[in-house]
A and B are shown apart, each in its own frame.
Chain A
Amino acid sequence: MNGSILSPFNVSHPTAIQTSLLDRASFAKFDPSGRYLATGKLDGSSSIWDLETRSTIRLLDGHVKAVTSVDWSRYSRYLLTSSRDWNVIIWDLASPFDPPQRHTTIRFDAPVVSASFHPRNSNIVLALLITGDAFVADLRKEHRSRTELCEVYDEADEGTKPRSAMTVARFDPTGKYIFIGTAAGSVLVFNSRTKAMVARHKISGAGTMRGFDFSKGGRRLVTNSSDRALRHFNLPIYPSPSPASDPPEYLDQELKPIYQFNDPINKTAWHTMSYSPEGQWLAGGAADHATHKIYIWDIVNDGQFVCTLDGGREPLIHLHWHPRKSVIASTTNQGNILIWHCPIPERWGAFAGGFEEVDENVEYHEREDEFDIEDEAETARRKMKREEEEVDIDGLDDAPMQQSTPVIPPKDDEDAAWADDEPDDDKPEWKMAIIMVEEDYL
């Protein structure tokens, strides 16, 4: 809304620390609306921060070991936490209590490294275990199942090569595919509905896959791997699986990065990376033991390196870009969260009505009739005439600010239809109840 008053030209990447939040977080992730931040901690708890009031509004205490990942449902009603205690808990934030109600607990057979919701339905959960196995847990009545994602090998390779452990597992933003990174440096693509492997991309020289991030539309992927490089790819279009073929066909293609980012001098590795909302920038969090550095690259301009942001002496361990704004949350190894923003210089001229600030002196030329005395009746009539124009006090001129931007699939999309079957109760209208802290408790 205030975009129309603020200058449209200050679209930029964050440049300065706005505030820091004191938590004991190992990471912090924005919700799809950007109003909240969820953190995971080593003691097994998670907190939710309200960024408008900069205070914690919920404490989710459900795990007995470190929380390894969190994920928000698309309208932020459900929050998932995964932990080394083998559990994944789904919390329902619509309950007006603190801590909120547990919606579901899913127990696995090993510590859970990461877990995430299907982007269209929070009843479908993807989990990656420390053993290198990835599972899709479907909690819907009609589909209730737990399916392991298995890499398909060529017959020639069968048995000869040891199976490579899965190290990253993510849904793409459409939810149609699951992307798996392996210790052998490949990216495997599975269909979320059929759980069949549709593609294997060998990334040469990458080593073990450490992390993925997708641009909003899901057409671009950035990978982090053990060779200390971030690779930015444009993803191909995957063929829809043909059910008849046996063994199932898949695309076996080496993927060449469009850009590859690394630190040529210090050769630092990366903890995490995150695209800006429009995919214009990429931020990389350096895994440096003594500094807190965020590297920013301009994807639109040939992947040029733009700058590093220095966050002081507490080393960075995680970062996440705000889903809508030029804001980054970076977590330090002390568990504090730094909120970076792009400060707007204060315009003092705004305090005076009808006053305009200019950068340089301008010689003012008065209009010929500027100080002519006009007949008052005439002025009034002119004013009345101008007020004849109809005004619209209801219509919103800017596109409705959506909480998240679900990717709209074609109508007859079988995968989307499958995901939308038995939908969850995550609706745009729900609101997080304000829980007032007892006065004597403060």
Chain B
Amino acid sequence: MVEEQAVDDHETKSEQERPQETQPCVTPDIEMKVPDLEVKQVTSEKPNYKLQYSLSGHTMSVSSLKFSPNGTMLVSAAADKLVKLWNAFTGEFIRTFEGHTQGISDVAWSGDSDYIASASDDKTIRIWSLETGSTAMTLNGHTSFVFCVNYNPNSNLLVSGGFDETVRVWDVARGRCLKVLPAHSDPVTAVGFNHDGTLVVSSAMDGLIRIWDAESGQCLKTLVDDDNPICSHVKWSPNSRFVLVSTQDSTIRLWNHQTSRCVKTYSGHVNRTYCIPACFTNVGSKCIVSGSEDAKIYIWDLQTREVLQILEGHRDVVLAVATHPTHNIIASAGMDKDLTVRLWRDSKPTS
């Protein structure tokens, strides 16, 4: 662990020394590491993720990670006001997007992997063009911190939520706000379109999950758990029949939104303070992946709800995780005692 610390410090420094921007492609800023972790006992079916790369560059807590839909890139956003782009397979640093005046809480990819939208505490959302490397559009309208953002499947709309307790729908091409939904009575922690773009789900610190008709902006349903714990994240299942909800009672629940019933509960991790997202694995056996406040990453079996693997290595709360769309790769990052973005890979061939 001591040795790793040294390596990280060095990497961070090199990142800072590097002349800022204007070099679209810089030398790889990565460190290939031999996984030095002990992995929990592994059977043939269990996932076997091992640390592949540690990427340094951010100088403050990393809040969000997303793989591009085409699978080639990873984007990271952090409290240091920067959005950074990495090669998803080699961990190579690609570029930094600079422009926000406050920390960033969330990022999202457009469907064609050509644009990135970032939600910031400076009350704006910026859309970054990968082609030009600069801001293509700035969306103004939120009256407080913007906390979450997502594209619709056609990528012509964006939905965002924030500390002004509203959910907003935006016209991407013109940067106009189309709808303001007075959605919740507390900060909105996550929003997202379903697979065909007809529904929007939102979660908030008021403990409610709401489902909205995307076209009319009408509330169609509210899901609420008995204890009403703070909802820190919500995500649609690939077929939009379920929503995966993380709450700050250290539990992740899978809800069938049609029957309003919780069908699965995942626990074992620690989540009492931060908004930590959970996600589905896209390849191989179906799993749920989430960060945790004990600096670990938990992987559960979707059906049995058993913890299959715990990834250890981070030295602070893991705030962000992302799963690769086509490969067994997990990206993770977290709070500022450990500023690395880590790429974990399960190299076992997928059946």
Contacts and interface: CB of A to CB of B under 8 A. Distances in A.
Interface stretch (B70-78, B82-90, B195-203, B332-340): B195-203
B30 interface: no
A434 B172 contact: yes
A344 B215 CA distance: 11
B172 A393 contact: no
Given A5-B257, A351-B219, A434-B155, 13 more contacts: A53-B178, A55-B171, A57-B156, A344-B218, A353-B208, A391-B242, A391-B302, A391-B303, A397-B241, A431-B112, A434-B115, A434-B172, A437-B174
Interface in B215-245: 215-216, 218-224, 237-242
Contact of A393 (B152, B173, B175, B238): B238
Nearest to A325: B215
B210 to A, nearest CB: 8
A52 B286 contact: no
A38 B346 CA distance: 49
Contacts of B213: 2, 6, 344
A362 interface: no
B111 interface: yes
B263 A391 contact: yes
A387 interface: yes
A397 B258 CA distance: 12
B221 A433 contact: no
A353 B219 CA distance: 11
B260 A1 contact: no
A112 to B, nearest CB: 31
**How big is the A interface, by class?**
35 or more
A50 interface: yes
A77 to B, nearest CB: 14
A141 interface: no
A442 B156 contact: no
A433 B173 CA distance: 10
Interface of A: 1-2, 4-6, 35, 50, 52-55, 57, 344, 346-347, 350-355, 383, 386-387, 389-397, 401, 431-437, 439, 442
B238 A437 contact: no
Nearest to A391: B263
Given A387-B263, A435-B173, A1 B199 contact: yes
Interface of B: 110-112, 115, 127, 129, 136-138, 152, 154-157, 171-176, 178, 194-199, 208, 210-211, 213, 215-216, 218-224, 237-242, 254, 256-258, 260, 262-265, 280, 286, 302-303, 305
Contact of B196 (A1, A386, A394): A1
B241 A393 contact: yes
A35 B216 CA distance: 15
A402 to B, nearest CB: 12
Nearest to B174: A437
A401 B194 CA distance: 14
Q: Which of B129, B138, B222, B280 counts the most A-chain CB atoms under 10 A from its CB?
A: B222
Given A1-B198, A2-B213, A53 B241 contact: no
24 contacts: A1-B194, A5-B257, A52-B197, A54-B178, A55-B173, A55-B174, A346-B219, A347-B220, A350-B218, A352-B222, A353-B260, A386-B263, A387-B265, A389-B263, A391-B242, A391-B256, A393-B237, A394-B238, A394-B286, A396-B239, A432-B154, A434-B115, A436-B173, A439-B137
